[in-house]
Amino acid sequence: MTGILNDREIRALCTTQEGMIWPFVPVQAGKPSYGLGSFGYDMRLGSKFLVPIGGINAILDPINFPRGHFREIEVAETLEVAPGSQVLAESVETFHIPDDIAGVCWGKSSYARCGLLVNVTPLEPGWKGVLTLELANLSPLPIRLHIGQGIAQVVFFRGGRPQRTYAEKEAGGAYQDQTGVTLPK
């Protein structure tokens, strides 16, 4: 069967020996909420961030990325993102996407209403790791992020297994098995 996965199908994929999401929360909890929803999974915000340092003539280029322009920080409870700035963050959850599943991610409405843009590339079939999230504050005011609470929702779709999965792509799976917030490779 193909199409969007409901809560029963997501739960079944997460309670196998090699679960799709770990740790898996089978109910909605917290505020902003996290855990299993009707047609998706609300992931939590991890505690590690990469924060841009900035500087004169700093250019962010995905082909030749200036790693020295970011510093890693770890926070326990909250992090404020300044107006017009962005940080890279990690999910609490580790994902192991089956070969016939893809995921698309959107920010949670509570944060969207504050002006936070959450950008996550699709979770491709066969990909596994901790998600890196790009969080941009579009608001003229600082936005407070809450560690361990919901940050974004992933909606999963089932289709036929593609000819090649993320790990089998010609360009290589540069972000396969990432263990935390990761800069461009």
- Taking the C-alpha atoms of residue 96 and residue 31, their distance in angstroms, rounded to an integer, is 25
CB-based contact 171:18 (threshold 8 Å): no
CB atoms within 10 A of CB 52: 15
- Taking the C-alpha atoms of residue 38 and residue 99, their distance in angstroms, rounded to an integer, is 22
Token pair 């192991």 is found at: 96
Handedness of CA 93, 48, 77, 123 (dihedral sign): negative
- Taking the C-alpha atoms of residue 102 and residue 154, their distance in angstroms, rounded to an integer, is 10
- Establish whether the linkage from the previous residue to 23 is cis, with ω within 30° of 0: yes
Query: Which residues are marked as active site?
Result: 134
